[in-house]
């Protein structure tokens, strides 16, 4: 059986005049690209009315914005996410800076922006909002209001898409011959998300103890990747993107649920790294490398529902989908999906899924995305070795053991001297102070310690004289005190002021924010008199918020500020780069 799945028709070249549309995406994790391509497909389905020439959508990655002649573009749809602590995705940063600095007239452009984000982060959808505002300042005409998407809220995405489709119906655009040639400017040799470097795993070591037997024992590893021969450069504070492979028994399980052998040949999907057009691989290979077996897209449920007419699955599917696809409005569906993987769903609704072809199902599956880990080593010390700190994810849902894809790939499957695709994700808003005398307050519990290992080793290497005060937190002193030896060595030398919160070694929980509260006088002096830089790394949802609250309390109590003044003070520190965060939502 040889069938096509999603050939790369997105790279099409138009050789006849038409009405052109630019679909520009800026992505860190691939979702913006997926939506831009969906909009492309939707536009392609539009029929021309009254003898008008067809629409000619072109999907372009914002990293290639230099190929675009904006004076020749008339219809622009931007799909862009926000990354880091409210910054544009790595590959869209030059575009974003260019747009902010551009002072020409873009009044001929009709546009709309879809801003992707996650409301758990303080700067929700900041990049999309900024792009929307800037286009409006440059006198472009907004034809559909900017929509903000909270995580994967398909209700909002579909609403935006449909508004665009309706708008296009009434839009008059002068047809012309397409000028856009993308490939000519895609000559950057630096390994990036879609062009990773195959890096050898040199060292892997367990950072947590396998001797003590706590019930809540963590499993965290340190991995060292060899970058020799790559053109990769990085700065302390950046992250390493790693492409994992799925677990073979889980792939076999899914193949069984798909009624496939795995030997069927399929096209390499369009999002695959090292994508060669018209390349074919076995279905098993494709599932190993390119598909997310864990996340169930609501579209898969819709597909099953469409096919469920008259079967015993119909009621269940109808009730799951009754409130729509939105994660906000249909928590019932999303909680249900959260506990399951693709194979579970296919098995549960096998009466329907057994009538679908593997390709029907594959076309509703999410692409396997790279995962990002803050780099825990400094390039000044060894530019060819890039280290990461990874907490291995294992959990149980519905009585079945589940695993995090990349974390167990690194721990259980990738062996020493084997290679995997990696690339750098820059984090320009998380940087050491240029002046080595500046004191630093670093707050990084758990794997949040990673970039501080890079920061401290770099400052140690440079013989920096500024104070390095580190707040680290873990569950148990004997168990998950990550990099204990290195940290205690630096502390012993007086280079690091080490403050550790062991949350579960006593009846009452102690976290980093509690230590910060106790050090209020000292921290106020460091911030107010010594212009210390504050760094926070780790969980955005709880830890970073609690630490922020504690900093506000210090400014109020020790600096006699009102809450509003304290918040303003921290915002100013943030805008001067003196309060930086590298946070994530687990």
Ligand X SMILES: Cc1cc2nc3c(=O)[nH]c(=O)nc-3n(C[C@H](O)[C@H](O)[C@H](O)COP(=O)(O)O)c2cc1C
Burial of 197 (0-12, 13-18, 19+ CB in 10 A): buried
Q: Give the sign of the dihedral formed by CA 167, CA 173, CA 177, CA 181.
A: negative
Minimum CB separation of residue 376 from ligand X in Å reads 16
Tokens of 489: 């060595």
Nearer to ligand X, 296 or 308 (CB): 296
Minimum CB separation of residue 123 from ligand X in Å reads 5
Which residue's C-beta sits nearest to ligand X? 117
Nearer to ligand X, 501 or 543 (CB): 543
Nearer to ligand X, 141 or 571 (CB): 571
Strand partners, 2: 265
CA distance 334 to 328: 9
Name the nearest CA neighbour of 473 among 515, 524, 520, 517.
515
The size of the chain, in residues, is: 586
Nearer to ligand X, 39 or 83 (CB): 83
Strand partners, 223: 204, 388
Helices 283-290 and 248-257: crossing angle in degrees, nearest 10, is 120
| φ, ψ at 409 (rounded to 5°) | -60, -45
Tokens of 219: 């499993």
Query: Which residue has tokens 């019930």?
Result: 215
Nearer to ligand X, 120 or 531 (CB): 120
Which parts of this chain interact with ligand X (CB under 6 A)? Answer: 27-32, 81-86, 89, 116-118, 121, 123-126, 584
| φ, ψ at 390 (rounded to 5°) | -125, 125
Minimum CB separation of residue 400 from ligand X in Å reads 26
Q: What is the DSSP letter of 410?
A: I
Minimum CB separation of residue 88 from ligand X in Å reads 10
Nearer to ligand X, 271 or 460 (CB): 271
Nearer to ligand X, 86 or 444 (CB): 86
Minimum CB separation of residue 235 from ligand X in Å reads 17
Minimum CB separation of residue 427 from ligand X in Å reads 9
The Cα-based distances of 234 to 124, 247, 410 in angstroms read 27, 30, 21
Minimum CB separation of residue 154 from ligand X in Å reads 12
CA distance 163 to 256: 40
């Amino acid at each position: 059986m040889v069938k096509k799945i999603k050939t790369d028709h997105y790279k099409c070249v138009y050789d006849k005049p038409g009405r052109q549309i630019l679909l520009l995406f800026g992505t860190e994790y691939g979702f913006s690209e997926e939506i831009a391509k969906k909009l492309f497909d939707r536009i392609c389905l539009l029929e021309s009315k009254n003898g008008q020439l067809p629409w000619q959508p072109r999907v372009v990655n914002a990293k290639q914005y230099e190929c675009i002649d904006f004076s020749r573009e008339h219809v622009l749809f931007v799909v862009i996410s926000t990354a880091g602590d409210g910054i544009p995705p790595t590959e869209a940063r030059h575009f974003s800076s260019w747009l902010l600095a551009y002072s020409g007239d873009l009044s001929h452009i009709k546009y709309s922006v879809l801003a992707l984000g996650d409301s758990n982060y303080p700067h929700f959808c900041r990049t999309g909002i900024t792009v929307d505002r800037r286009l409006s300042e440059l006198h472009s005409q907004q034809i559909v209001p900017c929509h903000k998407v909270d995580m994967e809220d398909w209700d909002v995405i579909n609403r935006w898409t449909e508004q665009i489709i309706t708008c296009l119906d009434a839009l008059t655009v002068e047809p012309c011959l397409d000028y856009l040639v993308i490939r000519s400017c895609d000559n950057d040799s630096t390994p990036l998300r879609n062009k990773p470097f195959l890096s050898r795993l040199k060292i892997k070591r367990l950072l947590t103890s396998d001797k003590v037997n706590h019930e809540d024992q963590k499993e965290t590893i340190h991995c060292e990747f060899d970058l020799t021969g790559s053109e990769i450069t990085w700065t302390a504070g950046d992250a390493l993107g790693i492409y994992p492979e799925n677990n073979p028994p889980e792939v076999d399980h899914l193949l069984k649920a798909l009624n496939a052998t795995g030997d069927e040949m399929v096209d390499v999907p369009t999002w695959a790294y090292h994508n060669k057009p018209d390349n074919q691989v076995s279905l098993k290979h494709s599932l190993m490398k390119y598909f997310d077996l864990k996340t169930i897209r609501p579209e898969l449920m819709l597909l099953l529902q469409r096919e469920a007419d008259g079967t015993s699955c119909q009621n269940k599917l109808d009730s799951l989908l009754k409130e729509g696809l939105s994660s906000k409005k249909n928590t019932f569906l999303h909680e249900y999906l959260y506990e399951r993987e693709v194979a579970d769903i296919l098995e549960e609704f096998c009466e329907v899924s057994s009538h679908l072809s593997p390709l029907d199902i594959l076309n509703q599956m999410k692409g396997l995305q790279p995962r990002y880990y803050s780099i825990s080593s400094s390039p000044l010390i060894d530019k060819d070795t890039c280290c990461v700190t990874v907490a291995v994810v294992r959990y149980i849902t519905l009585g079945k053991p589940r695993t995090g894809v990349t974390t167990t790939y690194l721990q259980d499957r990738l062996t020493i001297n084997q290679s995997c695709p990696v690339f750098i994700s820059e984090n320009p808003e998380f940087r050491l102070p240029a002046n080595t005398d500046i004191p630093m307050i670093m707050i990084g519990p758990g794997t949040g310690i990673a970039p501080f290992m890079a920061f401290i080793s770099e400052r140690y290497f440079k013989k920096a004289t500024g104070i390095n005060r580190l707040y680290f937190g873990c569950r148990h002193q004997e168990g998950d005190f990550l990099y204990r030896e290195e940290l205690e060595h630096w502390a012993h030398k007086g280079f690091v002021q080490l403050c550790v919160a062991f949350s579960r070694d006593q009846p009452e929980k102690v976290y980093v924010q509690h230590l910060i509260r106790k050090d209020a006088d000292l921290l106020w002096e460091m911030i107010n008199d010594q212009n210390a830089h504050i760094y926070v790394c780790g969980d955005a949802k709880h830890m970073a918020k609690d630490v922020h609250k504690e900093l506000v309390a210090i400014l109020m109590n020790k600096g006699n500020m009102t809450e509003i003044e304290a918040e303003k003070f921290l915002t100013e520190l943030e805008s001067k780069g003196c309060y930086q965060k590298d946070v994530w939502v687990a």
